[in-house]
Amino acid sequence: DGGITQSPKYLFRKEGQNVTLSCEQNLNHDAMYWYRQDPGQGLRLIYYSQIVNDFQKGDIAEGYSVSREKKESFPLTVTSAQKNPTAFYLCASSKDGTNTGELFFGEGSRLTVL
């Protein structure tokens, strides 16, 4: 079955630690995205990538980093510079980066900072 796989589903981190969230897709999609979801705030775009080896900052990129070395993979690192990292993180992909097509989402990763 084609889809997006995010791991881990739940993650706990101590303050000051970096953590990397994995996102893998087997849909052969060009574009991939990372969103953050907080209660009552909807989805906020962190980073997106329209093609391999290229990515752009979204609305809330500070304290996050990404890479896109392979078409299938778009990992997100939450660094210690992110002041309030506890949130639900969603990875998505689309066939291309025109934003006129459907976004396919993963199941999400819930990060809690202790």
C-beta separation of 94 from 50 below 8 A = no
Binding mask 67-96 for another protein (x = CB under 8 A): -----------------------x-x----
User: What minimum distance in Å lies between the beta carbon of 80 and another protein?
Assistant: 27
Q: Is 11 in the site for another protein (CB under 8 A)?
A: no
16-19: Cβ within 8 A, 24+ apart: 16/80, 17/80, 18/77, 18/78, 18/79, 18/80, 19/77, 19/78, 19/85, 19/111
**Total of chain residues touching another protein, rule CB under 8 A:** 21
Q: Is 108 in the site for another protein (CB under 8 A)?
A: yes
β-pairing verdict for 87-94 and 4-7: unpaired
Q: Which residues of this protein are in contact with another protein, per CB under 8 A?
A: 4, 40-43, 45, 48, 58, 90, 92, 97-100, 102-103, 105-108, 110
